[in-house]
């Protein structure tokens, strides 16, 4: 049965949180946006800009903001748009605030360090009375905030819930597609960030278009292998939250993961790119977690392993290229 979600709460007033709040408002929903930075919330309310995260993007829509999580009481559904590694603490914080059964759409694209768990599993451990869904797909925050045409996937264990959330968020420039593959949508979004770093390294080192095409293609095969081994549906990886997002993030400096990889390819050391004040790069955190997950599952993931080793400082790019190019030959399509 389709449900009506007329009042949408958004947690996180960064670039993507602000953009999704605008998308929900343009879909005709009442929206309340919460963030940690009171100054940014005031700017959003008064100037209809978010200079720190969205630059010169300005919008005509009015967004209601709140400076306490209690301002989200009564929301029909909530979008949680905070980094992967803060999911556990945020879930614990909102669990006593939101009503039991409230759907919470998770927008982070990563895996928890240490546990290797997906965001939805982490969320449920801290907020078992709430209902997780996920939103993923090829969507830069600036494009969504500017009202440029964008398509994403919204997944939930209950397909009717996913469809209702899609109906609530569809607008003149945002087209959501429903899925019941919570695992596949999350792993596609998380693992493609690692491949985007690799693609950036290829371009940063000027290895050529042929190398880039090979990397993206074999990277897609690798992330699909790992995701399916963990319960994802293969067809999900060929959709927006897998291949679509991979194409986007591997192709433009708008992607933080690509830009981070490009800097590595040009010789900047990983520790310099991780200095305090640097922007969060989800793929840089996910790489080592994904590599460990692949080892534990017995899945061959050489690109992921190479990216993780380079970021950790145990492998240089030239050696990584040589190792990948001299691996034993095999058939392109594997029986597993």
Active site residues: 192
Total residues belonging to the chain: 336
Burial class (CB in 10 A: 0-12, 13-18, 19+), 30: middle
Q: Are 98 and 104 in contact (CB under 8 A)?
A: yes
Query: 327 vs 179, 311, 330, CA distance in Å?
Result: 37, 21, 9
CB 242 within 8 A of CB 233: no
Distance CA 291, CA 284 (A): 12
Question: For residue 30, what are the β-bridge partners?
Answer: 7
Q: What is the dihedral sign for C-alpha 220, 223, 226, 232?
A: negative
Q: Residue 180 burial (CB < 10 Å; 0-12/13-18/19+)?
A: middle
Q: In sequence order, which residues have a C-beta less than 8 Å from that of residue 130 and are 6 or more positions away?
A: 91, 94, 95, 98, 100, 101, 102, 103, 104, 123, 124
For CA atoms 169, 172, 174, 175, the dihedral sign is: positive
What is the layout of strands, in order, in the sheet containing 103-106?
Answer: 64-66, 30-34, 7-11, 77-80, 103-106, 131-136, 150-155, 174-179
**Exposed (0-12), middle (13-18) or buried (19+): which is 323, by Cβ within 10 Å?**
middle
Give me the phi and psi of 153, to 5 degrees please.
-115, 135
């Amino acid at each position: 049965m389709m449900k009506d979600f007329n009042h949408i709460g958004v947690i996180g007033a960064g670039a993507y949180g602000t953009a999704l709040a605008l998308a929900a408002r343009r879909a005709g929903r009442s929206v309340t946006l919460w963030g940690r930075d009171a100054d940014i919330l005031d700017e959003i309310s008064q100037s209809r800009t978010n200079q720190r995260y969205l630059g010169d993007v300005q919008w005509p829509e009015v967004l209601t903001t709140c400076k306490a999580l209690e301002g989200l009481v009564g929301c029909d559904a909530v979008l949680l748009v905070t980094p992967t590694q803060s999911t556990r603490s945020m879930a614990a914080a909102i669990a006593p605030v939101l009503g039991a059964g409230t759907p919470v759409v998770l927008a982070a694209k990563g895996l928890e360090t240490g546990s290797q768990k997906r965001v939805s599993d982490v969320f449920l451990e801290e907020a078992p009375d709430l209902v997780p869904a996920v939103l993923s797909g090829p969507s830069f925050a600036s494009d969504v905030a500017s009202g440029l045409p964008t398509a994403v996937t919204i997944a939930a264990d209950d397909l009717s819930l996913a469809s209702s959330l899609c109906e609530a968020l569809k607008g003149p420039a945002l087209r959501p597609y429903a899925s019941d593959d919570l695992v596949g949508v999350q792993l596609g979004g998380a693992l493609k960030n690692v491949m985007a770093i690799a693609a950036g390294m290829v371009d940063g080192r000027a290895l050529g278009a042929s190398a880039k095409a090979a990397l993206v293609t074999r990277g897609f095969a690798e992330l699909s292998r790992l995701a399916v081994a963990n319960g994802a549906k293969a067809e999900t990886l060929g959709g927006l939250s897998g291949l679509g997002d991979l194409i986007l993030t591997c192709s433009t400096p708008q992607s933080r993961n690509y830009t981070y990889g490009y800097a590595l390819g040009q010789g900047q050391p990983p520790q310099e790119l991780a200095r305090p004040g640097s922007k969060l790069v989800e793929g840089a955190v996910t790489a080592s977690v994904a590599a460990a997950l692949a080892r534990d599952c017995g899945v061959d993931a050489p690109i992921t392993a190479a990216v993780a080793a380079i970021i950790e400082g145990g492998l240089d790019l030239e050696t990584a290229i040589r190792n990948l190019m001299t691996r034993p030959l095999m058939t392109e399509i594997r029986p597993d």
